[in-house]
Chain A
């Protein structure tokens, strides 16, 4: 050991024992653990396993209850198609929730952007690619507005996005006059808007471009969150904003970027939603907002920020789809689908709390 201090200074006597001490790495007798403890630890390390298990279980149960139809490749690809928009919104929502925020405006900003695209391309006769591009920019601006209000004006994300949800919805009704743009009119002037409604067949399954887009968006976000510095910063900001700032991250800039990217993802979802519905409908997707939050929460992303994998919400969206589809095939009234999703959300949050209490 180096002795850089002066003559009188140096190590203290009681430290002599160090030299003779055992230098080996600490090893602990692992004390007896209950099965529950083990499970808690396992889930803490692999938070995405919960939704995966729930998805497999629900597929099995509904396959049993609803009969053979449920298992058909066609039905399962239909589930994907049905959740594609909720899934895309859930991807946007995940980014915001990872930063310990929440974005209640995702649904409204998506519908607003779809109305903007429709108005420009169909009613005003602009080229479809331009209309889509303008829509993307508007989506990003909507997200940036949220991010600005959260970071600069320092308002809680819940309040900010509750406000912008209503603002976007009002703008949407104003721009659309509460009127849908009909499918035939889109076909006649700007069929590109409905491109994501087309599909390819693989075996018995039929995948719309929209469902493929959903998976692609999740894949890209997975890469960005796990393999780039920006992704690590998103987690750090959600985990402990002050610590992130002290360790040299521009936390407010990261937050604004997160809301802007979420807005862009919603805008991409807007394009896909026109293909999904077949028309531009200002009154559509009213319930998609909360379903997207449900998918994120079921997917194991913590509402407290900084924890969870982006794969989870994809699985979460599929769970929502499987529940809806399975209950419908089993002939259960639609109100019980809503009932079941409500419970699923509460149970998922309770599970998240339990997993987070794991003793290190």
Chain B
């Protein structure tokens, strides 16, 4: 690829006690692409994206955004740099409302006197935007935007987390299994949304175990195995069974994919 990657990682290492979650992992994301990350359970995919999004601190290795080395000390800093993440655990506050959750940490204040001097929140604005973002996702089976997230179904919660990331990401959006709990229709919406986001020029990292989804939307597929990047393949050149074979170690990846 001729352009420079927007986000790169080199030699990431992360230990959890004696478990090596990341073992010299590399990562490249190019502008405007959908990069799928696949791998067995426990391969280290979530750990990789947590290192990128500031949720954990790798023991070793280097991460660069737009060529500049970055050291996010918290997810907030990654977010301020434009990297928005849907975590596998969703990271929602169950007792707070949908609107509160979507705007957590970036609440909108009223514009006038009350907002300036008493820091009053603009609830109407936040609820309106939250409703818009959810309807974009076709999640209007949610009737009440001020209902607590814990009263939603698992798939609806996932929808809220995806909508939040899509609404606020400005540089990179990372989604850790965003469709795992979603129904057929809702999964389709999320895939459409992912493609929408790409058409706006924003790159997306999609972690998924769903091979048809991965092969449908991904421009490149990063295969993660035993804590490191095994290879990167083009979905047009390989079949799903090839990908699964690489992922599980049943088949050696081709040399040119290793170099990628």
B28 at the interface (CB under 8 A from A): no
Contact B236 A6 (CB under 8 A): yes
A140 at the interface (CB under 8 A from B): no
Cβ-defined partner of A248 (8 Å) among B75, B89, B217:
B75
Cβ-defined partner of B184 (8 Å) among A14, A240, A307:
A14
A8 CB, min distance to chain B CBs, angstroms = 7
A35 at the interface (CB under 8 A from B): no
B245 at the interface (CB under 8 A from A): no
Contact B74 A9 (CB under 8 A): no
Contact residues in A for B188 (Cβ distance below 8 Å): 1, 11, 15, 18
Identity of the chain A residue whose Cβ is nearest the Cβ of B123 in the assembled complex: A227
B185 at the interface (CB under 8 A from A): yes
A5 at the interface (CB under 8 A from B): yes
Contact B236 A8 (CB under 8 A): yes
Would you give the 0/1 interface string for A210-246, flagging 1 where the beta carbon is closer than 8 Å to chain B? Answer: 0000000000000100011110110110011011111
A247 at the interface (CB under 8 A from B): yes
Contact residues in A for B217 (Cβ distance below 8 Å): 4-5, 9
A10 touching B216 in the complex, CB below 8 Å, given contacts A236-B93, A247-B91: yes
Count of B residues near A, CB < 8 Å? Answer: 47
A and B contact pairs by CB, cutoff 8 A, 9 listed: A5-B217, A11-B216, A25-B140, A227-B118, A232-B121, A242-B91, A246-B85, A248-B74, A306-B94
Contact B106 A248 (CB under 8 A): yes
Contact B91 A233 (CB under 8 A): no
Within 8 A of B (CB), among A1-57: 1-2, 4-6, 8-12, 14-15, 18, 21, 25-26
Residues of A within 8 A of B (CB): 1-2, 4-6, 8-12, 14-15, 18, 21, 25-26, 223, 227-230, 232-233, 235-236, 239-240, 242-250, 306-307, 360
Contact A243 B91 (CB under 8 A): yes
B195 at the interface (CB under 8 A from A): yes
Within 8 A of A (CB), among B81-111: 85, 87, 89-96, 100-101, 104-107, 109
Contact B75 A18 (CB under 8 A): no
CA distance in complex: A137, B140 (Å): 50
CA distance in complex: A76, B212 (Å): 70
B66 at the interface (CB under 8 A from A): no
Cβ-defined partner of A244 (8 Å) among B85, B104, B196:
B104
A233 CB, min distance to chain B CBs, angstroms = 7
B125 CB, min distance to chain A CBs, angstroms = 13
Contact A228 B119 (CB under 8 A): yes
Contact B198 A232 (CB under 8 A): no
Contact residues in B for A242 (Cβ distance below 8 Å): 89, 91
Contact A248 B216 (CB under 8 A): no
Residues of B within 8 A of A (CB): 55, 74-76, 79, 85, 87, 89-96, 100-101, 104-107, 109, 118-121, 140-141, 143, 150-152, 164, 184-185, 188, 192, 195-196, 198-199, 212, 215-217, 235-236
Contact residues in A for B96 (Cβ distance below 8 Å): 232, 235-236, 239
Contact residues in B for A1 (Cβ distance below 8 Å): 188, 192
A239 touching B95 in the complex, CB below 8 Å, given contacts A1-B188, A233-B105: yes
Cβ-defined partner of B119 (8 Å) among A6, A9, A230, A246:
A230
Contact residues in A for B212 (Cβ distance below 8 Å): 12
Contact B101 A247 (CB under 8 A): yes
Cβ-defined partner of A228 (8 Å) among B55, B85, B106, B121:
B121
CA distance in complex: A9, B216 (Å): 5
Contact residues in A for B152 (Cβ distance below 8 Å): 360
CA distance in complex: A4, B199 (Å): 8
Contact B76 A249 (CB under 8 A): yes
Contact residues in B for A246 (Cβ distance below 8 Å): 55, 75, 85, 87, 89, 91
CA distance in complex: A64, B235 (Å): 80
CA distance in complex: A250, B151 (Å): 26
CA distance in complex: A242, B91 (Å): 7
Contact residues in B for A223 (Cβ distance below 8 Å): 118
CA distance in complex: A243, B188 (Å): 26
B53 CB, min distance to chain A CBs, angstroms = 8
A2 touching B106 in the complex, CB below 8 Å, given contacts A25-B143, A229-B121: no
Contact B198 A4 (CB under 8 A): yes
B234 CB, min distance to chain A CBs, angstroms = 10
CA distance in complex: A14, B196 (Å): 22
Contact A239 B93 (CB under 8 A): yes
Identity of the chain B residue whose Cβ is nearest the Cβ of A306 in the assembled complex: B95
Identity of the chain A residue whose Cβ is nearest the Cβ of B194 in the assembled complex: A4
A353 CB, min distance to chain B CBs, angstroms = 15
Contact B105 A247 (CB under 8 A): yes
Contact A243 B93 (CB under 8 A): yes
A15 touching B93 in the complex, CB below 8 Å, given contacts A227-B121, A249-B104: no
Contact B184 A5 (CB under 8 A): no
Contact B107 A229 (CB under 8 A): yes
A5 touching B107 in the complex, CB below 8 Å, given contacts A230-B119, A250-B74: no
Identity of the chain B residue whose Cβ is nearest the Cβ of A224 in the assembled complex: B119
B103 CB, min distance to chain A CBs, angstroms = 8
CA distance in complex: A2, B185 (Å): 14
CA distance in complex: A252, B199 (Å): 38
A17 CB, min distance to chain B CBs, angstroms = 8
Contact residues in A for B105 (Cβ distance below 8 Å): 229, 233, 247-249
Cβ-defined partner of B100 (8 Å) among A10, A26, A232, A240:
A232
CA distance in complex: A235, B196 (Å): 34
A199 CB, min distance to chain B CBs, angstroms = 29
Identity of the chain A residue whose Cβ is nearest the Cβ of B189 in the assembled complex: A1
Contact residues in B for A243 (Cβ distance below 8 Å): 89-93
CA distance in complex: A247, B55 (Å): 10
A306 touching B93 in the complex, CB below 8 Å, given contacts A25-B143, A26-B141, A247-B75: yes
